Structure 1
Amino acid sequence: MALSLSPELQQFCDRQLASGKYASLDDILLAGLQALAEREQLYQGRFAELRSEVLLGASEAERGELLKASSEIDTIRQRLRHRHAEP
């Protein structure tokens, strides 16, 4: 496979090879692809969590289980003040 890198990425790879952390460009590319796969997996997991939370909130809203925004904002502010006041 032919691969064309920008000068910045080529320099980065050269530094990684010179450090001894990686034995070859293939090792660097493999590590990068593994990191990308892990990031994508985390993203998909977080997306699923957020989707679930949105659906739960929509269901609660349909049932009339709504929170008063001003009191919730006050609660959040109090928590933040308390958190920042701790040593």
Structure 2
Amino acid sequence: MTMPLPPDLQQFADRQIASGKYASLEEILLAGLQALAEREQIYQGRFEALRREVLLGVEAAERGELLDAATEIEAIRQRLRQRYSQT
């Protein structure tokens, strides 16, 4: 496969092939696409987890179960101070 690449990426690909890590540009591109697919899957999972957390918060708010932001932020700060003062 012939694929024009910007000079810096071509040099990178050439170094990868010369090191024996990859046998061809095709292998490099395949590895890159696999890494991209894995990253997308991870981001999608994180997005779904965040979405579930937001929905839980909305449901709690609708039930009137709200927390005072200033109090909670101060509690978080205290926990962080304790955690990092012990290390």
TM bucket (normalised to shorter chain) is over 0.9
- The CA RMSD over aligned residues, in Å, is 1.1
Describe the superposition over 1:42-86 as per-residue Cα deviations: whole angstroms up to 9, x where unpaired.
Answer: 000000001111111001001100001111011110111011112
- Residue 40 in structure 1 maps to residue 40 in structure 2: yes
Please list every run of at least 4 consecutive aligned residues from structure 1 whose deviation after the TM superposition is greater than 3 angstroms. none
Q: Higher relative contact order at CA 8 Å, sep ≥6: structure 1 or structure 2?
A: 2
* Deviation (angstroms), 1:2: 4.6
Instruction: Kindly provide the amino acid, as one letter, of the partner of residue 15 in structure 2.
Output: R
One-letter code aligned to 2:81: R
AA of the residue aligned to 2:23? A
Code of the residue aligned with 2:40 in structure 1: it is E
Partner residue, 2:50: 50
| Stretch of structure 1 that moved more, 16-25 or 31-40 | 16-25
Q: How far apart are residue 3 of structure 1 and its match?
A: 2.1
5+ residue gaps, structure 1: none
Following superposition of structure 1 onto structure 2, how do residues 1-87 of structure 1 map, counting pairs within 5 Å?
2-87=2-87
Q: Residue type matched to 1:81 in 2? A: R
Percent of residue pairs bearing the same amino acid type? 70
Count of aligned positions: 87
TM-score, structure 1 as length reference = 0.94
Unaligned regions of 5+ residues in structure 2, if any? Answer: none
